[in-house]
Amino acid sequence: MGAQIHSTAFVDPSAELGEGVQVGAFAVIEAGVRVGDGTSIGHHCVVHSGTTLGARNHVHAHSVLGGEPQDLKFEGERTVLLIGDENKIREFTTLNRGTAGGGGETRVGSRNLFMAYTHVAHDCIIGDHVIMANCATLAGHCQVGSHAVIGGLTGLHQRSRVGTCAMVGGLSRISKDVPPYSTTNGCEEVKVYGLNKVGLRRLGFTRDDLTALEAAYRLFQDPLLNAGDALAQLEAQPDKTAHVRILVEFLKSSDRGVYR
């Protein structure tokens, strides 16, 4: 079955649409766009040049994909937005292309949920199974690990990171890195409140997994240690579990500092 394109939609002849693609009324798909099999693009959506969508994505009404970066240094260079499979992109969501200074691409994984009015800026990297609640916003160059949840009306400063399986509460103002597996919240003062236990259990983490992570977090948050000393002690521990190693590597790679 070929693509089903509403009579009022505009699809550039050079756009590549897979089998079973649906394009709603008054949607615009520009030159060079690639859309995978079974993807649905709602009415009044705009998909700009440089955008590649995988299979079975559902893009709801009025969303704009692959728009120009909101970066004063951008001078019209060829950059891309790459989106995986089975994402749900709700109404009025905006996902921008990359910039030359940020590697030229914004990358979104698979099976993510972007609720209404969310924004992903240039050069961001998002994993799989991420949830961004309504009006959550990523500035340029942010990274969000797989299975992370970002609450509504939360904003991330440019180059901030959210680790895998972390939960960030709504109305948070994030200007540093959020460690993996954590529950973090705050506007005037952002704090880590411990493990995201409910989320981790839902993902199949065992009691031993949680016990090891809890011990690592107790050390990481020890008020008698500064961040560098806590990391050094964590790194020196033998027989770290795979999840604790992920935590340690995240802390080591931080440029902006990590919330404790």
Catalytic residues: 122-123, 140
Q: Is 236 helix (H, G, I), strand (E, B) or coil?
A: helix
Question: Tell me, what DSSP letter sits at residue 100?
Answer: G
User: Would you list the DSSP string of 133-155?
Assistant: -TT-EE-TT-EE-TT-EE-TT-E
CA 107 to mean position of chain CA atoms: 8
Location of structure tokens 């299975």? 147
HSE, CB side, 13 Å, CA atoms: give it for residue 247: 33
Whole-number Å distance between alpha carbons of 140 and 125: 10
Whole-number Å distance between alpha carbons of 53 and 37: 9
Q: Which residues are registered as beta bridge partners of 172?
A: none
Whole-number Å distance between alpha carbons of 50 and 29: 11
Asked if residue 35 lies in contact with residue 54, where contact means CB atoms within 8 angstroms, the answer is: no
Q: Which of 136, 158, 159 has the alpha carbon at shortest distance from 148? A: 136
CA angle 197-201-203, nearest 5°?
120
Output the CA–CA distances (angstroms, integers) from residue 179 to 26, 109, 176, 214, 253, in the order listed: 42, 20, 10, 13, 11
Q: Which of 46, 33, 134 has the alpha carbon at shortest distance from 83? A: 33
